[in-house]
Structure 1
Amino acid sequence: MNFFETPPCYNEADSYVYAAIKPVLRTESVNLDASLHRVLAEDITALKSIPPFSRALKDGYAVKAKNTAGIFSDNPKIFEIIDYLYAGGVSKKYVSENECVSITTGAKIPDGADAVVEIEKTGIENGRLCIYESIGYGVNIESEGQEIKKGKILLKHGTLLNPSRIGLLASQGISNVKVFEKPKVAIISNGEELNGIDDILKDGQIYDINSYTVASIIEENGCLPLKFGIVGDNSSQIRYVIEEALKVSDFVFISGGSSKGDKDFLTEILQKLGRIPSFKIKQSNGKSGIFVLSEGKPILGTPGFPSSCLINAYVLLVPALRKMTQIPCIYNMNFTAKLSENIDVSSNVTGRFLPVKIEGDRAFPLASDNKGLVNIAKADGYVILDDGTATIVEGAAVYVNLF
């Protein structure tokens, strides 16, 4: 395996990781109730026209439009009310000359009628309707199939299902849909200092934070997290757990063991597992990440320090997850804001990752002397700083990625 002589920066690493990822093409059928944020694996054809019948867009009276010709306020016309129709009902009456049917919004237009006079433009005299304005053909009526005709493509393969699209499927009486399976992402936490959050901490130990933050990110981006627990600093044990994870997952994420140190075995292990050139990722404070492909499956190793792990997850893992799930990039939450103060890129303690708070159209960097998770948890999003830029001045436009 060949590592890059000069480790890539985040901007480059993001591209390398993304290019190595392949979409997960396995499919499954799910109930419509469980389809939110899933990606369609087939075209959906309209089983019914929308709307399924011509219907009233306003409360009023269904008439023949030609019978209202010449009507105006000083020359009203009397119509016989032959039926009363509400949404969900059907009139058996045929609307003939100088007749009308009282109708509510959403009700099916009765036979013979081709327009709906709004109730505000009418009055009742001796039990009969008095119309004060003429009306054109088709006014206040939504025609059958006006939105989509039966047999036409309703939603295309690759569409991300959101609430409005789920509603559209429900309008067709579709209860199950074929979608792409959620990619499975294994999470391994490496380090003798780690303990489960339900266990009692010994002196020198910390809780396993990373498996929870990373699992949340994985779920948030349409994948299924598989926790493989905490693995101590034993090279044979680490390799065994990685190999087991590769058997059941599409992607393996490892926190801890990617930096240089006597007990950091991860680089050596992944060099043996990887089958094509991969790379280490340079970060601040001497920390580094590592990425390899093992028999086509990606493995991303990150530093165990919680904020470093979280940064890697957002910058490198999230784009990979979205490519695996086939979630269109349009759904990434980002926008341009104005920086609230000057930033010395070289002295930023979180490297090229700048956490920010958003107020209006301005991005406020959080305390530059705090590299911990608490500071990042206060942020609304982050900015990836350019390696080639020494300083970003107040008021400069920056690209903010929202958490």
Structure 2
Amino acid sequence: MLPVKDAENLILNTIEPLTETEPVTLDAVAGRILAQAVTSELDYPHEDNSAMDGYAARSRDLSSASPDQPVTLEIIEEIPAGVSPRHPLQTGQAARIFTGGILPLGADTIVMQEDTQKDGNQVKIFSAATVGQFIRKQGSFYQSKQPLLPSGIKISAPEIAVLAAMQCREISVYCPPRVSIFSSGNELVNPEDKLQRGQLVDSNQSALKELVKAQGAVAIPLGIIKDEPDLIKSAIAQAISSSDIVISTGGVSVGDYDYIENILTELGGTIQINSVAIKPGKPLTFATFPNCYYFGLPGNPVSALVTFWRFVAPAIKKLSGQKSNLTPTFVKAKTQQELRSGGKRETYLWGKIEAIAGEYEFHVAGGSYSSGNLINLAQTNALAILPIGTKFISAQETVEVMLIS
């Protein structure tokens, strides 16, 4: 069995990012990975503007201003946001200005309105002002043609706001990986089928499809394949010829009906991993083909999800062209219950994590704890990790926790 960290490193060192790109519009860029660094022809801010509601003025006119001896200035115009100033300021003049308003020529400071008193077309200023006070200078946040967003990042709402503000209308992104998914097992039926005695509903394919889509990849569900070597071989051959990654569940252990590893070899694949020292999820297969990667996950529902979160999601991220934040996020938390494991494999116990008084607390899921029981997996958001050799962690002790949402 390969240690968990070694398996992670082997997988990520093997994956080669896709290189095909496509241009997309701003409306279609969410969740995509930037293929090229983005620049803009605009400065940001576009022009000198006010960071406050108040008055634009000349700082040298206000050097003597104080609460006891205010300076009186003539108000020559009003400048709301989006309106171009009409007059340059002369000595003894000010302009009423609002947040975002463009600074008029001659002005070099902003006095916030709390330090002023308006009287008709005049304003009393009760404090001195320094050059540049409350002014957002043109290009102070970003200068045109400089790198704006780097390649290899996943685009979400903040980046979309930046792209929109800087009028980046067409963005080059990597084409998303195509991920085929199938489940194997004679006992499996679809969720909409009538359940007969001895049968099991295939929940893995539904869950994995959504997890794949959440990584920004294209999910291609292939359905349930019966435990017949010819059917499995045909399905895998078709999938590896048309996909960047293939994910199957079931058929990778050592049972009489577990054919997948032999079939992968027959089809020209190289088995890189066939078991990992992880619980749940020991029978994990990772194989490589010239133009495709294959993940054979365990059939037990919790095992399938844990191995996806731990190994497959990072692989999809790297294949997609993402350059950072590939691996899961780990934090330290105090467990609120005793945690136990056999100690022979790195053990992942699912539950909930929450921040209480500045510290993370982990609550292990209640009910029967089994890789075949996905019922108590609902609403969980973290996995507590017990290293190899650790059989027991007391309540209130610190434990490493992997975030899964």
Give the TM-score normalised by the residue count of structure 2. Answer: 0.91
Q: How does 1:118-137 map to 2 (within 5 A)?
A: 118-137=112-131
Aligned residues of 2:182 and 2:223 also touching (Cα < 8 A) = yes
d(CA) in 2 for partners of 1:105, 1:396: 51
Q: How many residues align?
A: 396
* Alignment match, 2:320: 325
Encode CA deviations 1:158-215: one digit per residue, 9 max, x unaligned.
2322222211111111122111121111101111222222222233222221111111
Q: How does 1:272-311 map to 2 (within 5 A)?
A: 272-282=266-276, 288-311=283-306
Amino acid of the structure 2 residue aligned with 1:338: K
Aligned residues of 1:10 and 1:281 also touching (Cα < 8 A) = no
Query: How big is the shift at 1:145?
Result: 0.8
3-state SS in 2 of match to 1:166? helix
Quickly say closer, same or farther: Cα 1:384–1:294, change in 2 above 3 A: farther
Query: How big is the shift at 1:25?
Result: 2.0
d(CA) in 1 for partners of 2:188, 2:162: 48
* Alignment match, 2:40: 46
Aligned residues of 1:78 and 1:128 also touching (Cα < 8 A) = yes
Quickly say closer, same or farther: Cα 1:330–1:68, change in 2 above 3 A: farther
d(CA) in 2 for partners of 1:262, 1:33: 50
3-state SS in 2 of match to 1:154? coil
Aligned residues of 2:343 and 2:391 also touching (Cα < 8 A) = no
Aligned residues of 1:289 and 1:301 also touching (Cα < 8 A) = yes
Which of the residues 237, 255, 263 maps onto 1:243? 237
Query: How big is the shift at 1:399?
Result: 1.9
Between 13-22 and 205-214, the greater mean CA deviation after superposition: 13-22
* Alignment match, 1:12: 6
Amino acid of the structure 2 residue aligned with 1:48: L
d(CA) in 2 for partners of 1:118, 1:20: 59
d(CA) in 2 for partners of 1:32, 1:62: 36
3-state SS in 2 of match to 1:226? strand
Query: How big is the shift at 1:295?
Result: 2.2
3-state SS in 1 of match to 2:270? coil
Q: How does 1:27-106 map to 2 (within 5 A)?
A: 27-106=21-100
Quickly say closer, same or farther: Cα 1:186–1:53, change in 2 above 3 A: same
* Alignment match, 1:345: 341
Encode CA deviations 1:311-343: one digit per residue, 9 max, x unaligned.
222222122122222432278443211223443
Aligned residues of 1:55 and 1:108 also touching (Cα < 8 A) = yes
3-state SS in 1 of match to 2:375? helix
Which of the residues 332, 335, 360 maps onto 1:336? 332
3-state SS in 2 of match to 1:14? helix
Amino acid of the structure 2 residue aligned with 1:364: H
3-state SS in 1 of match to 2:211? helix
d(CA) in 1 for partners of 2:321, 2:380: 27
Give the TM-score normalised by the residue count of structure 1. Answer: 0.91
Aligned residues of 1:194 and 1:208 also touching (Cα < 8 A) = yes
Between 70-79 and 146-155, the greater mean CA deviation after superposition: 70-79
3-state SS in 2 of match to 1:73? coil
d(CA) in 1 for partners of 2:305, 2:10: 19
Query: How big is the shift at 1:97?
Result: 0.9
* Alignment match, 1:170: 164
Aligned residues of 1:257 and 1:303 also touching (Cα < 8 A) = yes
Quickly say closer, same or farther: Cα 1:131–1:234, change in 2 above 3 A: same
Amino acid of the structure 2 residue aligned with 1:325: S
* Alignment match, 2:188: 194
Aligned residues of 1:60 and 1:118 also touching (Cα < 8 A) = yes
The answer to which structure, 1 or 2, has the higher relative contact order (CA under 8 A, 6+ apart) is 1
* Alignment match, 2:389: 388
Aligned residues of 2:343 and 2:388 also touching (Cα < 8 A) = no
d(CA) in 2 for partners of 1:111, 1:284: 69
Aligned-pair RMSD on alpha carbons? 2.3
Amino acid of the structure 2 residue aligned with 1:343: L
3-state SS in 1 of match to 2:352? strand
Quickly say closer, same or farther: Cα 1:354–1:126, change in 2 above 3 A: closer
Aligned residues of 1:9 and 1:387 also touching (Cα < 8 A) = no
**Post-superposition, which runs of at least 4 consecutive aligned residues in structure 1 deviate over 4 A?**
282-287
* Alignment match, 2:309: 314
* Alignment match, 1:152: 146
